[in-house]
A and B are shown apart, each in its own frame.
Chain A
Amino acid sequence: MTDISFDETLDARGLNCPMPVVKARKKMAELEAGKVLRILSTDRGSIKDFQGWAKIGKNVELLGQETETEDGVELFIHFMQKAN
């Protein structure tokens, strides 16, 4: 576990491309600038997806990513901050 603090969590487990990013986008839109969203995903592709978003997105920053194993299922956790 990293010690990145977050304000909200989005459970995108079980969802496939492009839903984790699409749902995260909707959630991010509701957040105030500076807030951090934690996204839980079981989609392997989401690692590169969130990196790609951070690369082209203008008002987001990817603070960190981690992988955990939960009941034998890999869980990918992303921390995205809404920039100012």
Chain B
Amino acid sequence: MTVSDVTGKEKTVDLEVIQGRLAALEQRLESLEEGQPEDKVALIIFSGDLDRVLAGFIIATGAVAVGQEVSMFFTFWGLNALKKKTVLSGKNLLERMMAVMSPNDSRSLPVSKMNYFGVGAKMLRSMMKNKNVSSLEEMIEMAREMGVKMLACEMSRDVLGISDEELIDGLEPAGVAAFLGESMTSRTNLFI
């Protein structure tokens, strides 16, 4: 094919070459778009400290509110935030010891600083109540209502000897790859 440029000079253009380049470009664009993070937030809740877990749930509920899809991956001490009770039957000696030394449920989580055998946590909860801030339990309920995906690390649950009946309902058992699947397509990733 021949085309004339602005000066009127004629040039020969190979249409096939252009088409080939265009196809290559489209393919690259497609692969780029595939790698784009989505409107998602992935949180790892590793800590079982009341203050840290609270921060996680505030970010989670806030993120859903502004239109993000949120997944929370609870692992190790973070699993304590999902406990509703402690059941000792069916546990071996070490698991029993672990259970006895761990918080019974989310209400008995310690704070990361100035806990003083739980007095600090009680103080923080009552100060939050005075300032009309939602409690952790309200936040968890809200997060579930809003569709926050909650994944419980199967390996650490098993290691710590926490049974399903000790945890709140509606959790999805998951492993590292499940979390990575969420995290690698998320815009924001936080380890708490």
Contact = CB atoms under 8 A, between A and B. Distances in A.
A24 B58 CA distance: 15
Given A16-B132, A18-B58, A24 B65 contact: yes
A21 B59 CA distance: 12
A19 to B, nearest CB: 6
Contacts of B37: none
Interface residues of A, number: 18
Contact of B65 (A14, A18, A59): A18
A51 to B, nearest CB: 11
Interface residues of B, number: 15
B62 A22 contact: yes
A61 to B, nearest CB: 13
B58 A56 contact: no
B142 interface: yes
A22 B132 contact: no
A55 B155 CA distance: 39
Interface in B117-139: 131-134
B58 A21 contact: no
Contact of B66 (A15, A16, A19, A57): A57
A24 B67 CA distance: 12
Contact of B133 (A16, A49, A60): A16
Given A18-B58, A25-B65, 4 more contacts: A17-B62, A21-B62, A22-B65, A60-B67
Task: Please list the 7 inter-chain residue pairs (A to B) with the smallest Cβ-Cβ separation, ordered nearest first.
Answer: A25-B65, A18-B62, A53-B66, A21-B65, A16-B133, A22-B65, A57-B67
